[in-house]
Amino acid sequence: MTYIFMHIAKTGGTTFNLSYLPAAFNPDEVFVLRGFHAFNIEDREWLSNLPEQQKQSFKMIAGHNTESLRPYFPEARFLSVIRNPVDRAISAYLHSRYHGDAHEPAGKEMQERNMTLQQFVQEDFGVRIQMSVHNAQVKLLFGSESAVTELREPSQVIESLRSLYHLVGYTEALELFLFYLHVTEGFPLVVFNNRLVRQERKSFQATDEDIAEIKRHNEQDQLVCDCVRAEFDRKVAEIWNDTLEKEYREYLAALESYRQLTNNDPNQPPMRWPYESARPRPSVSPRQDSPPVVFSPASAYWRQRSILAGARDRIPALSRAINAPSDLSLYQYAQFIASAIDYQPDLVLDSGTSGNSASAFLEASHLSARPFPVVALFRPGNWASTIVPNLRRFVPNSWLEALKFASGDLKSVNFAELAGDAKRVLFFWDAHGFDFAERVLGKLLPVLAGREHLVLMHDLSDARYCSPQGSLYGEQRLWKGPAQDGSRLRLGIIDSAQPEAIAALDFTSRNQVTLASADHSYHTELTDEQKLELQGAMGPELFSLQAHWFFFSLNEHPGPYTFPRYAVR
């Protein structure tokens, strides 16, 4: 069965689409339409023209303007949520004036005019960003401008609701809407944080004149809202019993606990509830027909949680000292620190170029019971002039002394000499391009093949955990290498903008080893209880199920291996 959610702006639909759905269903079961305008039209056309079998593969389609999909999904069950018109108008006003994507040009004009809520409603100013507050919900819900004049009686509204929608809830009871779908349709329960909640709402006070103006332009919306509430409450009452009451209260308590623990941060990953209670999967012996588990990012995250919790203040300080935050996020700092400590290498070879990864591995060495040297293949241009003085404010000399830089031209580096007598080597692959990939695979990997080793590859994302829209070209041109237009490459589950993704997939395929996803490890190997504990221990900046890196090792099997020929150019 396919369900289609009709998202009416400022009713909680963004929370449903981006906080509930990602945890409730597998990525390939969900399609969320983009925006309101050209991309939304493109997505609807794409969905409309899909073969029937592919249409049926979707569990949920959600987004604005999905009412128009009815002819193409005749068996689908339609869902929606509406909101009290006064609250919705206030929310639309605050969003239009303050939210980042509304600043140009609508928000800017509102601020220049110092527009009041009453003026906003009188002019229906929000229509510029698809947030009309003139009986907009009745028009969108029933897919017709004429619905405002045609549906004048409660009986007409309820009859239309029953004929067009499987369920319509209301924002003020969004959790109950989800719980009802759980009971009647088998939808999973999810703990999540609400999105697009404006802080200005706490202090904003609408005047009596504001409210009167909103009501004057939303008589039909109010009628529909009253009918939706009555119809929804009737449906809930028909199924309710003491057992459901108990389960619902437990769910609300879990939601409240999750929101307090995550500080209501919408960027924290939602998770299914009740939480799984099993131990993490990496501790389970692999099947006999599976390759040996060389490394598990999830196990490293979990086992090193206490160390990471102790570094909650220090990791952001390291990032500030390097001053290149876009190159490595704070949660990636934490993930790489945990991975290095857990893997316990004799040596780390780092090919990062900004200093972020070097500082992460130096911190891992400092925190490890068995410190290890870090050899950086590239020296950031501002290392001595800016980065080291910044670091010396809070790190000891021994911290910096663990770092050495490879000398000479990288093309002539002797990797065997660099690795020395290290028996267990971690290599961080962050430098880009086919030339560097050829050096790594043709010169470094033969040196590492006879030792215990692990390769971590940055800037590769797992398409299974990316937005479904990422599979669409949109305005992107064909990927022909790194480009300023944002074009990306899709290779199976790999999503990347970098050429080395091709080289690594080619190499691991030829050698029959797994190019594994850290994203997948975090999403599937940690139990929900562990995810929640990690969030509490590490805080929202250092814990994430997103990773955007892959890993591999030739240690998966004893060989023989094949390597590309490398010639110095």
Residues 227 and 299 in one domain: no
Give the per-residue pLDDT at 569.
58
Residues 265 and 405 in one domain: no
Judge whether 563 lies within some domain.
Answer: no
Does position 221 have pLDDT exceeding 70, yes or no? yes
Does position 448 have pLDDT exceeding 90, yes or no? yes
Q: Is the Cα torsion angle 174, 179, 185, 190 positive or negative in sign?
A: positive
Distances in Å between the alpha carbon of 82 and those of 225, 408, 471?
Answer: 7, 65, 30
The domain that holds 262 is classified in CATH as 3.40.50.300
Residues 254 and 329 in one domain: no
**pLDDT, tens digit (0-9, with 9 covering 90-100), for 406-422:** 876 666 788 999 999 99
Residues 232 and 321 in one domain: no
What mean pLDDT is predicted for residues 487-498?
Answer: 91
Give the per-residue pLDDT at 568.
61
Q: Please give the structure tokens belonging to residue 302.
A: 């979990």
Give the per-residue pLDDT at 505.
96
Residue type, 190: V
CA distance 157 to 161: 6
What mean pLDDT is predicted for residues 165-190?
Answer: 95
- Cα dihedral: 414, 418, 420, 424 (round 10): -120
Judge whether 49 lies within some domain.
Answer: yes
Residue type, 7: H
Does position 286 have pLDDT exceeding 60, yes or no? no
DSSP-assigned beta bridge partners for residue 50: none
Give the per-residue pLDDT at 498.
93
Check: CB of residue 135 under 8 Å from CB of residue 223: no
Give the per-residue pLDDT at 113.
85
Residues 6+ apart with CB under 8 A from 322: 354, 355, 356, 359, 387, 390
* 3-state class (DSSP) for residue 355: coil
Give the per-residue pLDDT at 519.
95
The domain that holds 490 is classified in CATH as 3.40.50
Residues 248 and 298 in one domain: no
Grade residue 336 by pLDDT with cuts at 50, 70 and 90: very high
Does position 128 have pLDDT exceeding 60, yes or no? yes
Residues 421 and 484 in one domain: yes
Give the per-residue pLDDT at 268.
81
Give the per-residue pLDDT at 407.
76
Residues 266 and 307 in one domain: no
Residue type, 193: N
Give the per-residue pLDDT at 266.
83
Query: 356-373 as b/e, with b when 16 or more CB fall inside 10 Å?
Result: bbbbbbbbbbbbbeeebb
Give the per-residue pLDDT at 510.
95
Q: Please give the structure tokens belonging to residue 97.
A: 């004036």
Q: Phi then psi for 552, rounded to 5 degrees?
A: -155, 165
CA distance 137 to 234: 21
CA distance 271 to 12: 18
Residue whose tokens read 């128009």: 68
Give the per-residue pLDDT at 101.
52
Give the per-residue pLDDT at 291.
47
Q: Based on the structure, what is the number of domains in the chain? A: 2
Q: Is the Cα torsion angle 336, 337, 341, 342 positive or negative in sign?
A: negative
Judge whether 387 lies within some domain.
Answer: yes
Check: CB of residue 192 under 8 Å from CB of residue 20: yes
Does position 523 have pLDDT exceeding 50, yes or no? yes
Judge whether 289 lies within some domain.
Answer: no
The DSSP-derived string for 415-467 is HHHHHTT-SEEEEEE---SHHHHHHIIIIIHHHHTTSEEEEEEES-EEGGGS-
Average pLDDT over the chain, rounded to an integer = 88
Of the residues 208, 238, 272, which one is the last residue of a structural domain?
272
Does position 264 have pLDDT exceeding 60, yes or no? yes
Of the residues 220, 242, 272, which one is the last residue of a structural domain?
272
Judge whether 363 lies within some domain.
Answer: yes
Residues 311 and 222 in one domain: no
Residues 214 and 304 in one domain: no
The domain containing residue 144 runs over which residues? 3-272
Q: Phi then psi for 320, rounded to 5 degrees?
A: -65, -35
Give the per-residue pLDDT at 144.
80
CA distance 309 to 542: 9
Give the per-residue pLDDT at 276.
53
Residues 225 and 78 in one domain: yes
The total number of residues written for the chain in this structure: 569
Residues 265 and 342 in one domain: no
Of the residues 216, 242, 272, which one is the last residue of a structural domain?
272
Judge whether 569 lies within some domain.
Answer: no
Q: Higher confidence at residue 291 or residue 206?
A: 206
Residue type, 273: W
Residue whose tokens read 């045609």: 150
Judge whether 286 lies within some domain.
Answer: no
Q: Which helix (H) or strand (E) holds 348?
A: strand 347-350
Judge whether 566 lies within some domain.
Answer: no
Q: Give every strand in the sheet of 60-63, ordered side by side.
A: 30-32, 60-63, 3-6, 77-82, 167-170
Does position 279 have pLDDT exceeding 60, yes or no? no
Residues 90 and 125 in one domain: yes
